[in-house]
Amino acid sequence: MKLPGWKELVETGPIILEAGNARKYKTGDWRTFRPEIDYSKCTTCLFCWLFCPDSSISFDGKRVEINYDYCKGCGICAAECPVKCITMKEEEK
- What pLDDT digit, counting tens, does each position of 47-72 carry? 999 999 989 999 999 999 999 999 99
Kindly state the DSSP code that residue 3 receives in the 8-state scheme.
Answer: P
Q: Is the residue at 84 inside a domain?
A: yes
> What is the model's pLDDT at position 50?
96
Q: Is the residue at 67 inside a domain?
A: yes
Give which of 26, 27, 4, 7 is closest to 17, Cα–Cα: 7
Alpha-carbon span 78 to 48, nearest angstrom:
7
Q: Is the residue at 21 inside a domain?
A: no
Number of domains the chain is built from: 1
Q: Is the residue at 17 inside a domain?
A: no
CATH number at residue 62: 3.30.70.20
User: In terms of pTM, does the model score above 0.85?
Assistant: no
> What is the model's pLDDT at position 14?
65
Q: Is the residue at 16 inside a domain?
A: no
Domain of residue 58: give its range.
27-90
Please list, in sequence order, all residues whose beta carbon lies within 8 angstroms of the beta carbon of residue 88, skipping any fewer than 6 positions away: 33, 34, 35, 36, 73, 75, 78
Q: Which amino acid is at 47?
A: F
Mean per-residue pLDDT pooled into runs of 10, the chain (93 residues): 77 69 78 96 97 94 95 96 97 79
Q: Is the residue at 71 inside a domain?
A: yes
